Amino acid sequence: MKKYDFRAGEVLVIDKPLTWTSFQVVNKLKYLIKHHPSLVVDGKRVEPKIGHAGTLDPLATGLLIVCTGKQTKNIELYQGQEKEYTGTFYIGATTPCFDREKEIDAYYPTEHITDELIYTTTKQFIGKIQQTPPLFSAVKINGKRAYDIARAGKTAEIKPKEIIISEFKITRIALPEVDFRVVCSKGTYIRSLARDFGEALKSGAHLTALRRTRIGNYHVDEAITIDDFQHSLN
């Protein structure tokens, strides 16, 4: 049994499973630790403080940093660190949410797309760029979450914001699929990058796979599954 002190603070490096929301992961971990001895003070059990340092979409997997106790004060510090992702774009089709959570809503030509064009197009996205987040996102618009507006069948204008992409590498081309690796700043939406990349190719694209592999100095190779964490408590 590993020694934890969830009240003093732990940084849990979790490999988020596919289809789980980040909120579900936090709730599951909170349930698992609520009876831990470190949360007993003067014979009374205290409510564990817990939160994650950067949302991952349900269809994404990989590194999710979860902080407990006094470490929750450092959540913003982790959120602000550089992130790395790997994944797959599907070229020639789009969806309303820019990933495969929704059905394809339009198809686009791809006959003109060559390997050279794909490699060259990545250069447009290196450095400081303006990016518009998806409507299906947690961005707030007049106090409301954008995804609540989208799920109500409404539209709203989302202002672009400056992000930094320091690396954008293509690792496999097998059209309509293109694999990539991206290193980027806080606030970058890889789903938006898929949309913008498709448009830059004079076509369309959406995200079909995404894995967060690094946040700052934390790497997914160090992460544990929720099941592994549960076993470490026994």
Query: Any catalytic annotation for residue 228?
Result: no
pLDDT of residue 155: 65
pLDDT tens digit at each of 234 positions of the chain: 678 999 999 999 999 999 999 999 999 999 999 989 888 887 888 888 999 998 899 999 999 999 999 999 999 999 999 999 999 999 999 998 899 989 999 999 999 999 999 999 999 999 999 998 876 656 655 555 555 555 656 566 678 899 999 999 999 999 999 999 999 999 999 999 999 999 999 999 999 999 999 999 999 999 999 999 999 998
pTM above 0.85, yes or no: yes
**What does the chain look like in DSSP terms, one character per residue?**
-----TTT--EEEEEEPTT--HHHHHHHHHHHHTT-GGGEETTEE-PPPEEESS---TTEEEEEEEEEGGGGGGHHHHHTS-EEEEEEEEETEE-TTSBTTS---EE---TT--HHHHHHHHGGGSEEEEEPPPSSSS-EETTEEHHHHHHTT-------EEEEEEEEEEEEEETTEEEEEEEE-TT--HHHHHHHHHHHTTS-EEEEEEEEEEETTEEGGG-B-HHHHHHHT-
Domains of the chain from N-terminus onward: 11-80+217-232 (3.30.2350.10), 83-215 (3.30.2350.10)
| Annotated catalytic residue within 5, 15, 42, 57 | 57
pLDDT score for 115: 98
